[in-house]
Structure 1
Amino acid sequence: MLKQSLAAILLAATAVAQAANPITNKIFTADPAALVDNGRVYLYVGHDEGKEGGKDYVMNEWRVFSSCDMQNWTAHPDPVPYSVFKWAGRDAWASDIAKRNGKYYLYGTVDHKTIPGKAIGVAVSNSPTGPFVDARGTALVTNDMTHETPIAWDDIDPAVFVDDDGQAYLYWGNTVMKYARLKPNMIELDGPIHTVGLEAFTEASYLHKHKGTYYLSYSRKFPEETVYMSGPSATGPWSFGGVIMEQNSNVKTIHQAIVDFNGKSYIFYHNGKLPTGGEYRRSVAVEELHYGPDGKILPVAQTGQGPAANPSPGCKG
């Protein structure tokens, strides 16, 4: 009986150690962005450094993780500090990543030193894990370029999408969603900034394409839930699809990223389920995402175990 009990305890400990969610319990992480490249998925997260009981976000850098199987995650050693942008005064808020012509472009939200409000910068690297350097020397989007709201944080949460024809788009915003085309160099807007009216839009716009349909997901209401629209192009017109993920229990935000990897689809998000976790101490997790026969995204429940292992052939580590 004692041997059986000990075996059960060891088995339970092994199962916990192999659990995929959150992707790390070493630090607090938030606002996931993901990129699939050469059989590996790379995950870019903000580093929540707020103290237990803190009253504000403390985020000074983005961290990079990667996986060959969606269960085991490698922490890469070099963070990307907000100070990669010399014109930035603080904050490494939500980011997104894209690859083009062998280079990796990281779009990050920071606070501008001289132009009041949040801004979006672009850093570039020859490797998905860096080092990253400022691709422009100036911000791509600043608060004085948009006037739809009086708030200083309406230019946040960049999301980049490169369509099959090579046209790249940038989506962003808080309270009002905005988008613009990007030039082929990925560091300049190509034309005007457009606004899109989305029902109860809060933030975290994100575009992906699956079997010919474009899916625009975003955080709705506050506390936030993840919902999506679908349409025939990267600019719509959009039709409401439904709720993907319900709001968190102890965190008002949720922030998604959606990718395909090894024939399956996945959604990354954050919650506050780690011990001492909460509003300013969040944790990124991942679940498998499924589509119905009609193309609708099915609701996704948060789990502790995360998705089943999906190893990529030839990928190591």
Structure 2
Amino acid sequence: MNSNAVKAILPASLLLMCGLCSCTQEKTMAKSEGIVTTSRMLNPIAPPGMYIADPEARVMPDGRLYVYGSRDESPENWCSRSYNVLSTSDMVHWEADQCSFATDGPGKQTDYTDRILYAPDCIYHNGKYYLYYCLAGELADDEGVAVGDSPYGPFRDGRVIKGALGIDPSVFIDDDGQGYLFWGQGSAKGAKLSKDMLSLDGEIHDRIVTYKEHAFNEGSSVRKRNGIYYFIYPGHQRHGQSNCATLNYATSDSVFGPYTYRGVIIDNLKSGNAVENNHGSIVEFNGRWYIFYHRPTHASSTMRKACVEPIHFNEDGTIQEVEMTTQGVGGPIDPRIRMDAARACEMEGNVRVVVRRPDNDIPVEYLAEIRDGDYACWRYFDFNAATVRRFICKTWDKSLAGIVEIRLDAPDGELIGTCDVKPMAGETAYAIHETDVRPITGKHALFLVFRGKHAEDTGKSLMNLEWFRFGE
């Protein structure tokens, strides 16, 4: 992609403050049946208009958690020529810093290439921060490293790591201080790092985790817990060779293996209608473990957004599989809080997340191209937080005559109300729709199923949904 296509999406540092953005929510006023809703960040964690994929999460010496990932900027191409950094002190409020490292444009730190940057990783060691990056294509200089004085970057003087041919580097430092680098596609490779963390030191180990034995595709990520090495990676075994939607893991008592396949941690298959891959990592933060992963948008396998879910270890060290949610790291969501439709964690049909960029306003993501029979899901809502009796939603731009079925827990689950969407030819920019709903209690996934009213509208776009909320 031409570097002129790289555009600034947000200010250089964007702080998402509680109360200023619908991705945070205030504490509920009620507590019942053990369900407690508190302020938290919802999935996805990146702000509207910013697409960060392949998230490697790291807790740095300042106590904050940082997420390093590739940055998507086009539905037609993977990644871009620069990286952004997300960070948080509480998993609620996230900051985004742009252009921490680049091969072209602002922040360029490679005098030998302007190639597209694939997934990175970053780690702290002996007072410095080491960013490991990789380049699109298959040449002799696939992997590189740049060094910074801060976890935010900037990372300077990118240089080639000779001998590391392949994609998606992951760095790991063992308990004795020895550093390791892992990379590869189809077959994971790894080697010790030199004391200065800038080059490989000694033998390259091949076939550490493989496609045949572990359903390994790419995206190595290594962690250690209670003496067990965990190799996290996207896998093919559940959905076939053309789709590595699962994040798998394998374990070993040695950093270079042999590794034993253990299972799936999370599966992003239903997060959109063009899912092709997943990529992420696990991390312990403030005494709790999490998995970071991504979901695609724009009906494309790119334009991906980082998300996070809590995970749980069994006594034997195995990890329980978790589902994708909208609530993310917190408890169920107060239904009275306005929910951005683009935060759907499951979609079926033609529906997809896209972004609208008003000339003088912030980017807005919404559900677009909705057709008859499509549905979207948001997990989970706490309907004990208040007795809700109304459903309100906003559609954007033109609409055909349609109905939104409001259902619980499944696309054919309990129907608690229907909302009419009147046709609109563009006489206003948007429309607000309201309907009564039956009062309910408990924790539920919310499914919105979209129906057209006229047979001649089959196959046509019915509406674009920007947000919804429940009222008392």
* Superposition TM-score, scaled by structure 2 size: 0.56
- Counterpart for residue 243 of structure 2: 223
- Counterpart for residue 206 of structure 1: 221
- Supply the AA of the counterpart residue of 1:27: M
- Counterpart for residue 232 of structure 1: 253
Alignment pair present for 1:72 and 2:96? no
Q: How far is the alpha carbon of 1:33 from its aligned partner?
A: 1.5
- Counterpart for residue 297 of structure 1: 319
Taking a change above 3 Å as real, the CA distance of residues 30 and 194 of structure 1, as seen in their structure-2 partners, is: same
- Counterpart for residue 147 of structure 1: none
- Counterpart for residue 266 of structure 2: 245
Map 1:61-210 to 2 at 5 A. Answer: 61-82=82-103, 83-111=108-136, 116=139, 119-134=142-157, 137-141=159-163, 143=165, 155-196=166-207, 197-198=209-210, 199=213, 200-210=215-225
CA distance in 1, matches of 2:84, 2:290: 20
CA distance in 1, matches of 2:126, 2:160: 22
* Rg larger for: 2
Taking a change above 3 Å as real, the CA distance of residues 174 and 118 of structure 1, as seen in their structure-2 partners, is: farther
- Structure 1 unmatched ranges of 5 or more: 1-11, 144-154, 310-317
- Supply the AA of the counterpart residue of 2:96: A
Q: Please tell me whether the aligned partners of residues 41 and 330 of structure 2 are also in contact (alpha carbons under 8 angstroms).
A: no
Q: How far is the alpha carbon of 1:211 from its aligned partner?
A: 1.5
- Counterpart for residue 344 of structure 2: none
Over the aligned positions, Cα root-mean-square deviation in angstroms equals: 2.3
CA distance in 2, matches of 1:184, 1:118: 21
CA distance in 1, matches of 2:167, 2:82: 16
Per chain length, whose mean CA-contact separation is higher, i.e. which structure has more relative contact order (CA < 8 Å, sep 6+)? 1
CA distance in 2, matches of 1:46, 1:176: 21
Which of 277, 291, 303 aligns to 1:281? It is: 303
CA distance in 2, matches of 1:63, 1:283: 12
Decide which moves more: 73-82 or 103-112: 73-82
Q: How far is the alpha carbon of 1:277 from its aligned partner?
A: 5.6
Alignment pair present for 1:271 and 2:295? yes
Q: How far is the alpha carbon of 1:159 from its aligned partner?
A: 0.4
CA distance in 2, matches of 1:105, 1:277: 34
- Supply the AA of the counterpart residue of 2:190: Y
- Supply the AA of the counterpart residue of 2:92: Q
Q: Please tell me whether the aligned partners of residues 217 and 228 of structure 1 are also in contact (alpha carbons under 8 angstroms).
A: yes
Q: Please tell me whether the aligned partners of residues 143 and 160 of structure 2 are also in contact (alpha carbons under 8 angstroms).
A: no
Q: Alignment partner of 1:195: what SS?
A: coil
Q: Please tell me whether the aligned partners of residues 223 and 247 of structure 1 are also in contact (alpha carbons under 8 angstroms).
A: no
% identical equivalent positions: 37
Taking a change above 3 Å as real, the CA distance of residues 289 and 140 of structure 1, as seen in their structure-2 partners, is: farther
Taking a change above 3 Å as real, the CA distance of residues 134 and 207 of structure 1, as seen in their structure-2 partners, is: same
Which of 256, 277, 281 aligns to 1:257? It is: 281
Q: Please tell me whether the aligned partners of residues 83 and 98 of structure 2 are also in contact (alpha carbons under 8 angstroms).
A: no
CA-to-aligned-CA distance 1:30-49 (integer Å, 9 cap, x gap): 11112101210011121110
CA distance in 2, matches of 1:245, 1:28: 20
CA distance in 2, matches of 1:97, 1:65: 12
Q: Please tell me whether the aligned partners of residues 105 and 122 of structure 1 are also in contact (alpha carbons under 8 angstroms).
A: yes
CA distance in 2, matches of 1:96, 1:171: 10
Q: How far is the alpha carbon of 1:228 from its aligned partner?
A: 0.9
